[in-house]
Structure 1
Amino acid sequence: MGLWRKSGWVSQGLSDTKLKEGDLLVLWGPQDRLEELTKHNGFLVFMRFVAKAKIRSKMGLSAAIMLASIVAAATAIVPPHIAFLTGALAMVLTRCVSVSQAYESIETKIYVMIAGVIPLGIAMEKTGVDKLCAQFITTYTQGWPALALLLVFFWFAALLTQILSDAATTVLLAPIALAFAKTASVSPTAAVVTTTMGAVAAFLTPIGHHGNLLILTPGGYKFSDFMKIGLPLTVLLSLVTAYLSLLVWPIQS
C-alpha cells in the first residue's frame, strides 16, 4: 500500500494518516474488497491491476531459452522467425508459460494494423509515390551534409509517430527513406535505421505511446511535462543515432 500527496510519497505512519482530498492511494488486497471501493462516492478508481502468480523456479530456464533464441537469430544459425518461434514453443513445453498465457499475450490489434499498413507501403513503392516524396525532399535538402539529411528523416519519423504507431510509421517512411538514399550520398541502411529509431522516439507527447497515457493522470503530469523531458531526449537520441549510423554505414560515393 502507498499514499501519494502533492508534497510527495507518504511512506511512514500510513495507518495513522488521515486521508485528504486529492490523495492518491495504491492498494493491495482481495478483489471483492477492492470492488467495494468502486461503489464508494469518496473514491475514484483510476486503474485496476490484477497480478498473477509467477513461477520463479522457471526464471533461469526462461532466461536461458530467451538468450538462446537471441543468439541463434543474431548469429544466423537459423532464420530469426524460426529462432523465436522455437523459443516460444520451448517456453510452453517447459511450462514457463501456459498455453492460455501465451494466447493472452498476443496483441491481435497490432497484427491487424501491420497487415493493413504493409500493403500501403508496398503500394507507395509500386506506384512511385515513394520516389515522388524522395524527390520532393531532395529538392529542399540539396547540398546538405549527410548528418543533416539523416536528422531530417529521424525527426520526420519522430513527429509522425506521435499520432501513428511505431510500426505504421516505419512501414510508411521506410520506402521513402530507401528511395531518398538512392538519390543522395547516404547509405540506404543508415537511412532506414535512422528512420526506424525516429519511429520509436515517442517521448514528445502523452499520446505518442500508450505507456505515456497510463502514467499521465496517476502521475499528475501535464502535456507540457512530456515536452520538457521528451524534447531534449529526442534531440540527444537523434544526434547519437545519425552520428552512429554514418559511422557504421559510411557515406556512399
Structure 2
Amino acid sequence: MNYELLWVLALLLVAVVLFTTNKVRMDVVALLVIIAFVLSGTLSLAEATAGFSDPNVLLIAALFVIGEGLVRTGIAYQVGEWLMKAARNSETRMLVLLMITVAALGAVMSSTGVVAIFIPVVLSVSLKMKSSPARLLMPLSFAGLISGMMTLVATPPNMVVNSELLREGVAGFGFFAVTPIGIVVLAMGIGYMLVARYWLATDSTQSQGEQWLRRTFRDLIHDYHLSGRARRLAVRPGSPLIGHRLDDLGLRDHYGANVVAIERWRKFRRVMVSVSSNTELHQRDVLLIDMSSSDMDLRQFCSEKMLEPMILRGEYFSDQARDVGMAEVTLIPDSELLGKSLREVGFRSRYGVNVVGIRRAGQALDGKLIDEELQLGDILLVIGDWKQIRQLQQKKHNFLLLSLPAEVDDVAPAVSQAPHALFCLALMVAMMLTEEIPNPIAAIIACILMGKFRCIDMESAYRSIHWPSLILIVGMMPFALALQKTGGVALVVSMLMQISGGAGAHVMLISLFLLCAVIGLFISNTATAVLMAPIAIGAAREMSVSPYPFAMIIAIAASAAFMTPISSPVNTLVLAPGGYKFGDFVRLGVPFTLLVMGASVILVPILFPF
C-alpha cells in the first residue's frame, strides 16, 4: 500500500466521520475534499473539479425543477386528495394505494419532497380512521426509498452508477432498466408492510403517534407546558413602551418577556395582530406575553412599564383562532437552522412567527428557548398570523409543517397550469425513452417549457434546486478517481476476489450488496454509489463478466436504506410524527433489506446476464 493511497483512505475516513457526526455540513465537507486533493497533488484541478461538468449533475438539478413544477401546479397535492377519497376509511386500502402512489411520484420527483408532501395526508387520514399514524408513516418512507428503483432518473445513485458505466466506455442503462426490479420490490414492500404494520402498533408508538391525530389548541398548550406561562398585559397611557419597536425595547432579552401577539383596537373592536421585530407598540394595545424563560416579579415589571394585567381565560386561544394560529413544524435533515439557536437565526424577524415551545425526544423543553440550539428531530410550536404560518410550508429547505396543507391556491399558485405540467413531464419521459436525445437535454427542455407555460417562475426554479446535494455529488466524485489512480479500487477488488471471487458471480453480488448497505449506514446513498460503482465494475472486469449486473446491484443497494432512521432523509422525516424509536427501523428495516438483497441477487442476473 503506497503513501498516496494511505492519504486518500485517511481523507475518506475523515469525510465519513464528519458525515456521521454532522458537525460540519455535508456540502462543506465535499468542498474541503476537493481542496485537499488539489493542494496535496493527488489530483489535478481539472480532475478534482470534473464533477461540475458531469451531465448527471445537470440532470439532477433539472429534475428538482420538474418536481417543483408538479408541486406548484397542485398535481402532487391533488394526488393526495384523491388518495384520501380512494382509501374509503380502509387502512389496508390506504397503505396499498399510498405506497404505489409515492413510488410512482418518486420515479420523477425527489423522494424526500414526495414524502414531505404526504406526511400531512397520512396524519389527516389517520385522524379520520382513528388509527395510529405509526402504521402508515413507515410504509410511506419505505415507498419513498423504493421509488428510487423505479426509473433511471428516480434517484441520484442510479445516475451516478450509469455515469460510471459511460466513463468505462460501455453503454448506460435504459430509462426503465431498473423498473422490473423496482416493481417486484414494491410488491414485496406492500406485502411486508401489510404484516409489519401490526408490529408498529405497540403501546409506545400508539401513544406517541396519537399526539398527531387530535391537535387542538388545548392539546398544544398542555403538551408544551404553556399553561401558566402566558400573560395579557394592557399598555396604559404614558407607558414608556409606547412608540418603540419590540427589538428596541429588548423585553425578551432583559426581562424574558416574549411578546407573541398583540390585541389592537381597529374599527371599534379589538383584533389580534401578529408581531415582528419592527412592530411598534401603541397606547391601549394588549400584549400577549410568553413568560417561560422569566423569573422576574410580574407586579414590579408592570409597575415599571405601566402595564395593566388582564384576565386570560382558558379558552382564550380558541376564541382567537380566527386571527392567531398555532402549528408544529419540524426541521428537515439538511435545514440550515440545525445547530443554531432561535436568537442566532433571528427566527421571529425572519419568519414572522414566534416559537413558544420545543419538543425533543417527545419531551417539552423548559427554560430560555431562544438560546437553545436546534437539533434534528426537534418539533417547534409556532404562534402567529395564519398567513405567516402557511408561508412556512414554502420553506421546504428548512421546515416540514406538520398539519394539512393550506388551500390549494395558497400552496399551488400555478394550479391552472396543471395540464401543461403533465404535458411537460410526459414529453420529458418520451424523449428519454427514445434515447435519441440525451437525458439532461430532455430534462432541460421540459424545464424551459414549464417556464414557458408559467408552471414555475425563475425564482422558484432556482430555489427548488437542492444545492447541497449537488455539491455533495460533485465533491465525492474525486474520491472514485483518486482511488483508481492510487490503486485503492484494485486493492478492494482484490480483497473481494479473495473472499468471494472463487464462489461465483452470485456470491460476489451478495458481497457487493452487503458492503454497499454497510457503508450506507454511515454516509449518504449518493456518496456510497460514488465509491462503490468503480469497485463493482472493477470486480466484473476481474471476473471477466458483464459489468451490468454488478452496476445494477449497487444501484439497488444504494436505495435500500431501510435499516436506520438516519440512513436516508425520508426515514428521518417520519421519525417524530410516527413516534418511532431507532430500534423500530432496525427491527423492520434489516429483515426487509435482506429480502430485497435476496430478490435482487435472483432478478438482476436474469435481466442482465453475466
TM-score computed with the length of structure 1 as normaliser = 0.83
Alignment of 1:86 with 2:445, yes or no, is yes
Cα separation, 2, equivalents of 1:201 and 1:41: 32
2: CA distance between counterparts of 1:142 and 1:231?
25
Note if 1:53 corresponds to 2:411. Answer: yes
Q: Partner of 1:26 in structure 2?
A: none
The residue correspondences of 1:211-230 to structure 2 (distance < 5 A) are 211-230=570-589
Matched, 1:159 2:518: yes
- Contact preservation (8 Å) 2:564, 2:589: yes
Counterparts of 1:148 and 1:75 in 2: how far apart (Å)?
A: 35
Q: Deviations over 1:103-147 (max 9, x none)?
A: 111111111111111111111122221111101110011322322
Matched residues in 2 for 1:100 and 1:22: separation? 38
Report 1:35-50 matches (<5 A).
38-39=355-356, 46=379, 49-50=392-393
Counterpart AA for 2:476: V
How far 1:90 sits from its partner (Å)? Answer: 1.1
Larger mean CA deviation between 3-12 and 57-66 belongs to 3-12
Counterparts of 2:605 and 2:491 in 1: how far apart (Å)?
25
- 1:46, 1:104 → 2: CA distance? 24
Deviations 1:200-248 (A, max 9, x none): 2111011111221222123211111001211122112112222221001
How far is the alpha carbon of 1:174 from its aligned partner?
Answer: 0.7
Counting matched residue pairs gives: 246
Displacement of 1:9 in angstroms is 4.4
Is 1:120 the equivalent of 2:479?
yes
- Answer 1 or 2: higher relative contact order, Cα 8 Å, separation at least 6: 2
Residue 458 of structure 2 corresponds to: 99
Partners of 1:112 and 1:18 in 2: how far apart?
A: 42
Mapping for residues 1-253 of structure 1, pairs under 5 Å: 6=207, 9=210, 33-34=325-326, 38-39=355-356, 46=379, 49-50=392-393, 52-54=410-412, 55-184=414-543, 186-251=545-610
2:411 is matched by which residue type in structure 1? A
Moved more, 159-168 or 179-188: 179-188
CA contact (8 A) 1:146 1:185 kept: no
How far the C-alpha of 1:187 sits from its partner, in A, is 2.3
Could you list the runs of 5+ residues in structure 1 that have no partner in the other structure? 24-28
CA distance 1:98–1:188, shift in 2 (3 Å): same
Q: Distance in 1 between matches of 2:607 and 2:447?
A: 32
- Return the alpha-carbon distance in structure 2 between the equivalents of residues 32 and 17 of structure 1: 14
Q: Distance in 2 between matches of 1:123 and 1:245?
A: 29
Question: What value does the CA root-mean-square deviation take over the aligned residues?
Answer: 3.3
Q: 2:219 & 2:422 partners in 1: Cα distance? A: 44
* Structure 2 Cα separation of the partners of residues 221 and 31 of structure 1: 34
User: Once the 2 structures are TM-superposed, how far is the Cα of residue 41 of structure 1 from its aligned partner?
Assistant: 8.8
* Distance of aligned partners of 1:118 and 1:212 in 2 relative to their CA distance in 1, 3 Å threshold: same
Note the alpha carbon deviations across 1:78-99, whole angstroms, 9 max, x for none.
0111101111111112111111
Normalising by structure 2, we get a TM-score of 0.37
Distance 1:134 1:12 in 2: 51
Distance 1:235 1:103, change over 3 A: same
CA contact (8 A) 2:209 2:579 kept: no
The 3-state SS of whatever aligns with 2:493 is helix
Structure-1 separation of matches of 2:358 and 2:516: 45
1:11 deviation in Å? 10
Q: 2: distance between equivalents of 1:130 and 1:232?
A: 30
Decide whether the 8 Å contact of 1:72 with 1:78 is kept in 2: yes
Residue identity matched to 1:6 = S
Q: Structure 1 stretch 49-58 or stretch 225-234: which is displaced more?
A: 49-58
Cα pair distance change 1:209/1:14, threshold 3 Å? closer
**Greater share of strand:** 2
Tell me how far apart the structure 1 counterparts of residues 462 and 322 of structure 2 sit (CA, whole Å): 26
Alpha-carbon spacing, 1:141–1:65, altered in 2? closer, same or farther (3 Å): same
Q: Which runs of 5+ in 2 are unaligned?
A: 1-122, 133-205, 225-320, 327-351, 366-377, 383-391, 395-409
Q: 1:185 to 1:13 in 2, by over 3 A?
A: closer
Is 1:160–1:199's contact at 8 Å kept on the other side of the alignment?
no
